[in-house]
Amino acid sequence: MRFSSGTFTLSPTNGDMSQATVTATATTDGAGDVRRQRFVAIQATATGAPVGSIKLRGSVDGTTFSDMGSASAISAASTTAWDIIDSGFAFFQVLYTKTSGTGTLAVKFSAKGE
């Protein structure tokens, strides 16, 4: 069984949740490769006092992302996690959309596969 883990690449790079949106995209090469992994766990941790929504998105080409389920509301420092089994997506992205407040977003993942 193959294991990998890593952090998502953030835009803006510091995960500043005072911006209108923050995107975090999974690294797809080296130790952070999530392609061909059967199980992927993603954890997004928001610190500070952010208010907005967060959602998971997937992509087959790394360019066009589609929502995977509904957005979850955030109204304080919190952690949101997704457990993904047998997804056909090669790339994952977490999207935070601000309503108000500020904070910092950090996103990590672990994966295992055949």
Sign of the torsion angle spanned by Cα atoms 108, 5, 84, 23: positive
| CA dist., res. 68 & res. 91, Å (int) | 12
pTM of the model: 0.87
Interacting residues of 59 by C-beta distance below 8 A, sequence separation 6+: 65, 66, 89, 90, 91, 92, 93
Tell me how long the chain is: 114
12: preceding bond cis by omega (within 30 degrees): yes
The better pLDDT of the pair 83, 8 is held by: 83
Q: Tell me the per-residue pLDDT of 23-65, one tens digit each, with 9 for 90 and over.
A: 888 755 444 457 677 888 999 999 999 999 999 998 888 889 9
Range of the domain at 38: 2-113
Domain CATH for 36: 2.60.120.380
The count of structural domains within the chain is 1
Looking at residue 111, its pLDDT comes to 84
